[in-house]
Structure 1
Amino acid sequence: MRPASVVVQPAAGSRRTVRFNKRSIATSLLFGLNAAVMPLKAYISEPLPWALENRHDWITDCGVNQTACTNALLAFGYNYSQRILPGRSVTFGPGYDITRTAVSLNQGDTTSFLVQMPVSQYYSIDLRRDALALGAGRLPDNAFSGVFVSVFLGFPMAYTTLWSINASASSVDIYVSSQLPLFSPIYGATKFGGRVLVTLYILWLMWVRYYRAYLHLKRNLLDYGLQNGATSFEIILGDPTSIILVNPLVAAAFLLDTVSSVDYLSRCMVRVCQVNDLVVFGLATLYLSRTLWFAYAGLGVASALLKKVKTVRFAALDTTTTALAVSVLAGPLTYLQSRTMVCIDLYFWAGTGIVRVPNNTIETAFMCVIYISTIALLPIAVGIAYPLLRPPRNVRSLSTTATLAVTQDLKKRCILALATTSLCRRRRVAPTTSTSSFVDGGTFHVLAHQYPMYRNYLCMSQKSADCHVLCTSVGQPQRRVCLTLLFFTDLPVVPAMEPAAVGTIQGDVFGAHVIHQGRRASPWVQ
C-alpha cells in the first residue's frame, strides 16, 4: 500500500480552488431522485387515493350469500369477457382483469394438465379438483367453472373466476376473471401517506449520509489539498443509491408496502401468467420490478450472516446489474413458475395446506413468503456460485486495466464518461481509463477484492457511490483520485499523524490494515 504523505503546499501566491462538476451533479441528482420516488412508482398501476374507483363491494355481497356471490361473479366475468377484441386475449378495467388461454384436452388423469391451465399455481381445492376432472375428460368441456377467493391473513384481496368454452374437439378456451374488492378510502390514504413518508426519509438519508460529505470534502480540499501539490480540484459526484439500498428500514418499508398491496399484486399475477398479449405482460413485469427490493433485502441479510460466518466466499454484486436483472426477470420468472409442476404444487400446498381454509379459498400470506424468498435467494445464489466458478486473482497480479475494473462498476464508468467527456474540442480533460498515471486512490476496492470481509456490506458493491476528484496544476489535468466513503468500509480508524484532507489505508497484505482518517473526521478514504 502507498505510505502516507505530508501535504504538499501549492506554490507561493497560489490559492486552491475547488468546484463541483455540474454534469455529475445533474447525474447524481437524477439517480437519487429515481430512488426517492420509487415508493410512488406504484401509482403507475394503482389509482391515486383521491381518484374515484369503479369497484363493486364484493366483500359485503360475498359475506352475506356465497352462492349468490358466485353467480354474480360468474355473470360479471361472462359479460365483460365480451370486451376482449378480436385477435386479443386480454381486457381489463379499473377493478378487473380478464384473460383467455387456449388449453389442449385429452391429457389423461394426470396433474401435468395443470401446467397448461392459467394461474394454476393459485387454485383452491375445489378448482384444482375440477381442473383435473376437465383434463381427464370426466367433466364436459363447457361445464368447468368456479370461483376462488384470495385472502391475506384472512382478509379478501381478490375474487378470481374461471370458466371454459369449447373451442374445438381437442381444446377449450379458459377464461380468467380477477376482480378486486372495494377498500376504504382511509386505507388508500394511509398507504399514500406512508409512501410519501418513505420518499421523504430517503431524501433525508441521501443528504445526511451522502451529499453532506461533499461539503466536508470541499472544505478539507481548500485547507489541505491532496498529496500532489495541485491547486485546482474538480469534484465528480457519485450515485447515492447505494446508501438507500443497504438501509434496512427502507427495505422493510418496501416489504410492508408490497404486502399491503396484495390486491394489485394479484392483478399482476393474472396478467403475467399469459404471454399472448406481450404489452400487458410487459406492464405487469414493470409493476413486479418493485420486487427488486426483496433482492436487496436478501443481500442485506446475507451480508450480516456471512460477516459472522467468515468462511463463505461471496462475490459482491453490482447493484445496477442486480436491479436490471431482477426488473427484467421478475415477470418471466413468475410465468415460468406457473408452467412448472413443482412450483404449482408448492404454491397449492402453501395456499391450502398450511392453514385450514374453505375449499374455495387460498391463503396468500405463505405464498407471498415463497415468492419473496425466491426473488431474495436468486442473487444470493449467484454471489455464492461466482467465486466457485471463477476464483479471485491475487491483488498483486492485477494489470492496470484489471485494477480499474476492480475500482469501477458499470454505472461509475457511465458517470465518469458523462462528467469528463469533452463537449468542446478546445477543452481537454483527464482520461477516465487510459493509463494508471492519471488514476489514484481506490485503494479500498483493490484491497477488498482480495479481502472481502473489509467491506461493511459484504454482498453488495458500492463502487458507484465513490467520489472522483480531478486534480489540476498549471492548467493541465494531473491526476484523478478515487475516494470511498468510510461508511462502506469495515476497517479500524485512527487519526492521521499528518494533516490530510482525506484518509488513507496503511499496512500491507501481510499485516493489519488501518484507515488513517483525514482532518475534521473526514468521511472519505483514498
Structure 2
Amino acid sequence: MSIGVSLLFCINIVCMPLKCYFTELLWTNPETFRPPAIFPEVASEFNRSTAKRYVTQLQLVYNNTTIPAHRAYHYDATHDVDVMRTVMTSSDCDRPPLQLLNDILGIVYFSTDLKLDLVDRLCTNASQDVARLWRVNFIDSPAFISALWVVSGQNDLDSNNSTIPTDSNVTTVYVLFIPDVRTMSWRYTKLAWRLLLCLSLAVLIVTSYICPLWQLKGNLERYAVVAPSPVSQKGSNERRRRVVRYNVVVGEPSCFVLTKPWVCIAFAADLLASTLYVAQACLRVCQTTSLLHFALGTLYLGRTVWFSYTALASVNVALKRWQKCHWIRPANTTVLAIAAGVVGGTITNVQGQWPPILQVYTWLFMLHSRQDTNQTMQMDSIFVNLVFAMTMCYLPAGVVGGRAVCRRLCTVRGGVDLVFHGGSIATLFALHPSFQAHCTLDQRGGDCYVCGFDATDVMVTITRVACIRGQLDMTRVTIDSDAPANRVAVGSLTISSANGPLVVTFRRGVDDCLWMA
C-alpha cells in the first residue's frame, strides 16, 4: 500500500511540469487558429478609433445567439477566449459605485477611467458608448487583450433570450479575456524545457530516493536493522532478536526534490514565462458561476507555490552562511502546497470581492499605462506580478507561524513517538538545527518505517529510519572510521558534549548505507 502511495507521489512530481496544459494552449494549435475572417486580428499598437472597430467585430462573434443561455462565464475553446456576462438592473445603482462595479465579472483588469465611464453609463447616461478594448503587457511584452461593451434593454442570460422593455433599464455587460497567441517556436521551446525538466525530476527521484531504498531493502534481507543496545530495556532487545523478516513502509520523495535550488528556480522561471495564464487563472477564481473553470484556475495558481520553495531555498543559503539556522523552523512541504492552493484560489476570490483591494490592484496596473484621448489603451502587470510573487514568498512564514500556534494550543502531544524506535536525526535537528543541510524545509516525509516480524508473522518492532543524503550536514559530523565494521542494515548517531563542545559521530551501516535510525 505504501509503495503505491509513494509511486503516486513520484508520478505527480515527474508530471508536474506538464500539468499546466490543463489550462494553457497546446503546442499543436497553429498560430492561425483564430481565423482572421471572423475573428479580428488586433495590431500591436492601436488607438481609440481602431479599438472600437475591433469591439464591433467581437460583438458579431460573441452575443446572445452564440453563447449558451444561463452561462455567465463561457470559455470559447475554439478561439481560446474567456467571455463573461453580467446582467445589471436600475436597482443596482442604489449601491455605492465600488460595490456596483464589484459585481461585474472581469473587473480586476479594468482601468480607472473605464470604471468611471461604466458607472456613468449604467446609472446616469444610458446613451453613452463605453465599448473598449485594451491590452495588458508584462514588461512591455504583450500578454492579453480585454474588451468590454454593454447591451441595453436585454437580459442575455435569459433562457429565452427575450427582449425586456428598455424602460426597465436592464443591461448586460460583456467582458472578454483574449490571451496573446505565442509563436510556434516559443511554444515548442517551452514544451522542450518542460520535458527536459520532467526527465531531470525522474533522474533526481531515482538517484536520491529509489536507489537508497533499494539499498535499504538489500541490507534488511541480510542484517538486522539495528544492533541490540546495552542500554535498552531487556524486552526491547529480546523482541529485536526474534525478528525473522522486515517490511518497509516507505515515505515519499517530494522533500528531496524541493531541496534542490535549481528545481525551484526552473519552475519559477517557467511560471514567469506564463504570466498571461496566471492572469487568466486569477480571472477564473474571481468567479464561482463556472465551478469547472474556478477549479482549473485554482489548480494553475497552485503552481505559484514554487515562489515559496525558491524563497525557502534562498533563505536556507543565507542562514547556513550566517550560522543562524535556529532562527527558523522548517516548513512542511505538503502543508505549504495546500496553503498555496488556498491562497492562490480562495484568497484571490476573497480579494476579488473586496473593493479596496481591487482599487489597489487597479492603481498598480495604472503605474505603467498608455492612454489615447483619456482612454487607457495599455497597462502593464509587472507590479501586480511582483506583489503576488512576494506574497507567495512570504507564505512559508505564515504556515510555520500557524503551525507553531496549533502546537501551542493542541493538548494531545507525543502519542505517536512512543510506538517506534529510531528517528534520532529528527531529535538532533530539533536540539541543534545547524546540523540540517536544509534548515528551512521539513524532510521527514521521506522517512521510512521498518516493521520487524517474528516467526509467527507478528509485528514485534517498528524502527524509523531517515536517509541522510541531503538532510544531514556531513561537514559538521565526525565519521567513526575506526569502529569495527557494522553488521547492521542502517547507521546510527552518537551525540556527546560531556567534555567540551558538541560532537556528533556517525557510524555507517553495512555497505556505507545512506539510512540511519
Query: Which TM class, normalised by the smaller chain length?
Result: 0.7 to 0.9
Equivalent of 1:90, from 49, 70, 73? 73
Deviations 1:137-179 (A, max 9, x none): 4553763332220111211111101223346857743221111
Post-superposition offset of 1:283: 2.5
Instruction: Using the TM superposition, name which of 513-522 and 251-260 deviates more.
Output: 513-522
Are 1:495 and 1:517, in contact at CA under 8 Å, matched by a contact in 2?
A: yes
- 1:144 and 2:130 equivalent? yes
Residues 489, 87 of structure 1: alpha-carbon distance in 2 compared, 3 angstrom cutoff: same
Aligned amino acid, residue 100 of structure 1: R
Q: Identify the structure with bigger relative contact order (alpha carbons < 8 Å, sequence gap 6+).
A: 1
Q: Hey, what does 1:456 align to over in structure 2?
A: 437
2:43, 2:401 → 1: CA distance? 48
Aligned amino acid, residue 479 of structure 1: T
Are 1:505 and 1:516, in contact at CA under 8 Å, matched by a contact in 2?
A: yes
* 1:507 match: secondary structure: strand
Are 1:178 and 1:267, in contact at CA under 8 Å, matched by a contact in 2?
A: yes
2:68, 2:40 → 1: CA distance? 30
Paired residues, what number?
A: 465
Aligned amino acid, residue 79 of structure 1: V
Q: Hey, what does 1:363 align to over in structure 2?
A: 380
Q: Hey, what does 1:524 align to over in structure 2?
A: 515
- 1:163 and 2:149 equivalent? yes
- 1:41 and 2:19 equivalent? yes
Deviations 1:317-336 (A, max 9, x none): 33223323322442222222
Q: Hey, what does 1:506 align to over in structure 2?
A: 494
Are 2:52 and 2:131, in contact at CA under 8 Å, matched by a contact in 1?
A: no
Q: Hey, what does 1:298 align to over in structure 2?
A: 311
Equivalent of 2:478, from 494, 512, 516? 494
Post-superposition offset of 1:348: 2.3
Are 2:133 and 2:146, in contact at CA under 8 Å, matched by a contact in 1?
A: yes
Q: Hey, what does 2:235 align to over in structure 1?
A: none
1:339, 1:113 → 2: CA distance? 11
Residues 47, 119 of structure 1: alpha-carbon distance in 2 compared, 3 angstrom cutoff: closer
Q: What CA RMSD, in Å, does the superposition of the two structures yield over aligned residues?
A: 3.3
Aligned amino acid, residue 507 of structure 1: I
2:396, 2:101 → 1: CA distance? 29
1:84, 1:329 → 2: CA distance? 32
Equivalent of 1:122, from 90, 103, 109? 109
Q: Hey, what does 1:13 align to over in structure 2?
A: none
- 1:63 and 2:44 equivalent? yes
- 1:278 and 2:291 equivalent? yes
Q: Hey, what does 1:470 align to over in structure 2?
A: 451
Post-superposition offset of 1:506: 1.8
1:259, 1:466 → 2: CA distance? 33
Equivalent of 1:401, from 409, 415, 432? 415
1:55, 1:262 → 2: CA distance? 21
Aligned amino acid, residue 349 of structure 2: Y
Q: Hey, what does 2:280 align to over in structure 1?
A: 267
Post-superposition offset of 1:314: 4.2
1:182, 1:56 → 2: CA distance? 12
* 1:63 match: secondary structure: coil
1:461, 1:132 → 2: CA distance? 51
Residues 64, 323 of structure 1: alpha-carbon distance in 2 compared, 3 angstrom cutoff: closer
Residues 246, 357 of structure 1: alpha-carbon distance in 2 compared, 3 angstrom cutoff: farther
Are 1:313 and 1:384, in contact at CA under 8 Å, matched by a contact in 2?
A: no
Deviations 1:254-294 (A, max 9, x none): 11212222232232233222222223222222222222323
Instruction: Using the TM superposition, name which of 54-63 and 498-507 deviates more.
Output: 54-63
Post-superposition offset of 1:512: 2.5
2:12, 2:205 → 1: CA distance? 12
Deviations 1:107-145 (A, max 9, x none): 45x65554344333322354244245457x455376333
Post-superposition offset of 1:313: 5.3
Aligned amino acid, residue 442 of structure 1: G
2:437, 2:8 → 1: CA distance? 26
Aligned amino acid, residue 313 of structure 2: G
Deviations 1:179-217 (A, max 9, x none): 123221111111111110110010011111111112332
Gaps of 5+ in 2: 156-166, 228-239
Residues 398, 44 of structure 1: alpha-carbon distance in 2 compared, 3 angstrom cutoff: closer
- TM-score normalised according to structure 1 size: 0.78
- 1:485 and 2:467 equivalent? yes
Gaps of 5+ in 1: 1-22, 405-435
Q: Hey, what does 2:63 align to over in structure 1?
A: 81
2:169, 2:473 → 1: CA distance? 64
* 1:482 match: secondary structure: strand
How is 1:195-206 mapped onto 2 (pairs within 5 angstroms)? Answer: 195-206=194-205
Q: Percent same amino acid among aligned pairs?
A: 23
Post-superposition offset of 1:72: 1.5
* 1:81 match: secondary structure: coil
Post-superposition offset of 1:454: 4.2
2:341, 2:191 → 1: CA distance? 23
Are 2:325 and 2:439, in contact at CA under 8 Å, matched by a contact in 1?
A: no
* 2:44 match: secondary structure: helix
Equivalent of 1:249, from 255, 259, 262? 262
Are 2:83 and 2:177, in contact at CA under 8 Å, matched by a contact in 1?
A: yes
* 2:62 match: secondary structure: helix
Post-superposition offset of 1:60: 6.5
- TM-score normalised according to structure 2 size: 0.79
